[in-house]
């Protein structure tokens, strides 16, 4: 079992100006910290989360034994990001449904639940909100900012918006922007949610319903893109649902074991996806899903530089570790290499590890000896800077 983590919350009364031109006030951010901030406050590491994660990065909650944080294999005492040396901060982003102010909360301007009226937030907005939390914690400069996938985009954005406040950025399984295919998958997921009759234009809370049908479809699509073709074949292949195995025994021919049904579960991959979809629809907020996928779509630091990523990253001054995974087809190694090249063009100090892992995009959350060792050795070097 891991150490005990405690969720905290910080309230911000001052309005935060958003990229859209709107602003938000009287919001709260949930966060957790692990380890001890040193005297000169130079050992802080900020961990940014991806689509469906939260501030609960590591540890377990008291009396909730199976409540490990989403990066508990990465962060903790003696782990790759060693909380015996670093003061690690996990933070939940604005618009989320895990504690920080989001669509399920009251809009102080109207006294009603935000719902679909929650302002559209971007990666840059999240970074600005995270910077304010650091201000309150008295942390002027981060030893490192770190994240995977959408979390990696936030880490990258930190180096551009607050170059003087970051010494290292660790950007894992990420990309400088979404491809058309990435946006397409997000859009299908959003359409599934928005066209669910229980969505009610995003104000379903008032109707006492949840657009679970849409959330399930969204999650199923997501899961397919998180896994590699190979790992799906290895894990599920064309295996029939468990019940079929018994039926199948002894029966010969191609049709053996098939139910010949279009609606019942026939293959194991189907029951896996349905289970993942059902589980997700129980706890995730539909408006949050829309907001977070949109933040992914919008992120594109090169956009203001006519697509020139080298120019866009010229502002970054910190050192970088980038990691990608060979079978990740959502954010392929090629996308990480684009970032590496753009940084090298600016003569930045960049380490890059391309990990040969079978698990697709999900690999960034999983146990992989070489991956965890690469991150460990990078953080050991950072630790020497203030040792």
Shortest approach of its own copies to residue 268 CB, angstroms? 8
Under the binding rule (CB under 8 A), the answer on residue 190 touching its own copies is yes
In the block, which residue shows the tokens 């399984």? 173
Shortest approach of its own copies to residue 48 CB, angstroms? 18
Under the binding rule (CB under 8 A), the answer on residue 224 touching its own copies is yes
CB-nearer residue toward its own copies: 76 or 360: 360
Nearest C-alpha neighbor of 186 from the set 147, 218, 217? 218
Under the binding rule (CB under 8 A), the answer on residue 267 touching its own copies is yes
Shortest approach of its own copies to residue 41 CB, angstroms? 31
Under the binding rule (CB under 8 A), the answer on residue 241 touching its own copies is no
Under the binding rule (CB under 8 A), the answer on residue 194 touching its own copies is yes
Q: Which of the residues 22 through 41 are near its own copies (CB under 8 A)?
A: 22
Q: Which residues make Cβ contacts (< 8 Å) with residue 369, sequence separation at least 6?
A: none
d(CA 72, CA 5): 11
Q: What character string, x for contact with its own copies (CB under 8 A) and - otherwise, covers 278-307?
A: ---------x--xx-xx--xx-xx-xx---
DSSP codes joined into one string, 48-67: E--TT--S--SSEETTBTT-
Under the binding rule (CB under 8 A), the answer on residue 328 touching its own copies is no
- Count of chain residues binding its own copies (CB under 8 A): 69
**Whether 198 is catalytic:** no
Under the binding rule (CB under 8 A), the answer on residue 229 touching its own copies is yes
Q: Any idea what DSSP says for residue 93?
A: P
Characterize 39-54 residue by residue with b for buried, 16 or more Cβ atoms within 10 angstroms of its Cβ, and e for exposed.
eebbbbbbbbbbbbbb
Pull the structure tokens for residue 23. 């602003």
CA distances from 337 to 34, 169, 321 (A): 32, 15, 12
d(CA 221, CA 8): 33
HSE-CB at 235 with a 13 A cutoff on CA atoms is 15
Q: List residues near its own copies by CB under 8 A.
A: 19-22, 116, 119-120, 124, 177-181, 183-185, 187-188, 190-192, 194-197, 202, 213, 216-217, 220-221, 223-224, 227, 229, 232-233, 235-238, 252-256, 258, 260-263, 266-267, 269-270, 273-274, 277, 287, 290-291, 293-294, 297-298, 300-301, 303-304
Catalytic residue IDs: 149, 328, 361
């Amino acid at each position: 079992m891991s150490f005990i983590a405690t969720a905290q919350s910080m309230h911000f009364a001052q309005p935060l100006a958003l990229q859209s031109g709107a602003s938000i006030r009287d919001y709260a951010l949930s966060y957790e910290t692990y380890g001890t901030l040193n005297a000169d406050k130079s050992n802080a590491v900020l961990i940014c989360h991806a689509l469906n994660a939260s501030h609960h990065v590591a540890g377990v909650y008291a009396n909730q034994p199976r409540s490990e944080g989403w990066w508990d294999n990465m962060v903790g005492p003696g782990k790759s990001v060693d909380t015996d040396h670093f003061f690690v901060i996990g933070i939940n982003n604005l618009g989320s449904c895990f504690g920080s102010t989001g669509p399920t909360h009251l809009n102080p301007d109207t006294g009603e639940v935000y719902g679909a009226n929650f302002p559209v937030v971007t990666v840059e907005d999240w970074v600005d909100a995270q910077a304010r939390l650091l201000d309150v914690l008295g942390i002027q400069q981060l030893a490192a900012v770190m994240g995977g996938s959408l979390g990696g985009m936030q880490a990258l954005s930190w180096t551009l918006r607050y170059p003087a406040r970051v010494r290292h950025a660790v950007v894992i399984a990420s990309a400088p922007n979404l491809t058309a295919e990435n946006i397409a998958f997000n859009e299908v997921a959003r359409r599934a949610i928005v066209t669910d009759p229980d969505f009610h234009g995003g104000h379903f809370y008032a109707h006492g319903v949840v657009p679970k049908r849409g959330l399930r479809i969204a999650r199923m699509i997501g899961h397919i893109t998180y896994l590699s073709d190979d790992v799906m074949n290895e894990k599920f292949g064309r295996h029939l649902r468990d019940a079929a195995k018994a039926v199948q025994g002894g029966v010969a021919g191609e049709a053996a074991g098939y139910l010949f049904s279009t609606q019942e579960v026939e293959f194991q991959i189907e029951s896996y996806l349905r289970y993942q979809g059902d589980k997700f629809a129980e706890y995730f907020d539909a408006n949050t899903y829309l907001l977070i996928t949109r933040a992914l779509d919008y992120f594109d630091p090169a956009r203001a530089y006519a697509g020139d990523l080298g120019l866009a990253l010229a502002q970054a001054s910190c050192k970088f570790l980038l990691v990608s995974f060979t079978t990740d087809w959502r954010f392929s190694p090629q996308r990480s290499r684009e970032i590496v090249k753009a940084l090298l063009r600016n003569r930045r100090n960049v380490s890059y590890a391309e990990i040969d892992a079978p698990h697709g995009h999900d690999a960034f959350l999983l146990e992989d000896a070489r991956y965890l060792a690469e991150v460990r050795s990078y953080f050991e070097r950072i630790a020497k800077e203030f040792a």
